Amino acid sequence: ALRGVVAMDGPSGTGKSTVSRRLAQACSAAYLDTGAMYRAATLAALRAGLGEGATEDEIARAAIGARLESGTDPVAPTITLDGEDVSGPIRGPEVTGFVSAVSAVPQVRAEMVARQHALIRAAVGSGGGMVVEGRDIGTVVVPDAPLKVYLTASPEVRAARRGRQDEKAGRKADLHVTLADVERRDRLDSSRRVSPLYAAADALVLDTDRLSADAVLAKLRELVSARG
């Protein structure tokens, strides 16, 4: 069994969510998808009538006031907004198009990181383990995590993976649009002032262009068991 936190970072379309969930299951650990938290906060902002022209203060008020609950079971991850299961809507194009703007607001990040710390404390405080995935887990949220992994892949491979995921979920997918969105979010997430996306100096960087999810998982399980 896993003890403590495994920090899983990287851009979208690297297979991060698949691998993180499977690793948590394999190690009887809890699982936290911090991207889902920023997405649900974004949905709250959209439902409050906010969009591209909104000020940081308006976004912060809507996102921080939102009543979010994140489940930490890797078999069935759930996220609710005001008691409603929003796992579907948070993957839609409206949220995906606005989430980088919401997650760049410093007050929103401070609030989400505080909530993440509470969930992590609850899971690992009593000797348990948790796989936490996001963009800033190894750099900001849990800088002392004993195992940090940073998954990468070329934008083309990541867009193709996103497209397959969208199709499976019944969402229309146009590869050009998906690639443009992947590149736009990379740019915004990597260049923001607060907690930009980058690999921690002590993270293991895995390029997944030619690695299947199974191969990545096998590698990570090895690393976890090597740490005892």
Query: Rounded to the nearest 5 degrees, what angle is found at the Cα of 51, between the Cα atoms of 172 and 41?
Result: 80
- Strands of the sheet containing 79-81, edge to edge, are 68-70, 79-81, 84-85
Neighbours of 225 (CB within 10 A): 10
11 labeled binding residue: yes
80 labeled binding residue: no
Q: Which amino acid is at 88?
A: G
35 interacts with ligand C5P by CB under 6 A: yes
30 interacts with ligand C5P by CB under 6 A: no
148 interacts with ligand C5P by CB under 6 A: no
Q: How far is the CB of 185 from ligand C5P (least distance, A)?
A: 5
Of 227, 10, 40, nearest to 139 by C-alpha is 10
Q: How far is the CB of 226 from ligand C5P (least distance, A)?
A: 26
d(CA 108, CA 59): 8
d(CA 13, CA 151): 9
35 labeled binding residue: no
Residues 40, 138, 154, 196, Cα dihedral to 10°? 70
Per-residue x/- track, 106-135, ligand C5P (CB under 6 A)? ----------------------------xx
51 labeled binding residue: no
34 interacts with ligand C5P by CB under 6 A: yes
Residues 162-221 binding ligand C5P (CB under 6 A) are 185, 189
d(CA 182, CA 5): 27
Q: Pick from 136, 179, 181, 216: which binds ligand C5P (CB under 6 A)?
A: 136
103 interacts with ligand C5P by CB under 6 A: yes
SS3 state at 135: coil
100 interacts with ligand C5P by CB under 6 A: yes
14 interacts with ligand C5P by CB under 6 A: no
d(CA 108, CA 57): 10
CB closer to ligand C5P, 72 vs 103: 103
Interface residues with ligand C5P (CB under 6 A)?
A: 12, 34-35, 38-39, 99-100, 103, 134-136, 185, 189
Binding residues: 10-18
Binding residues for ATP: 10-18
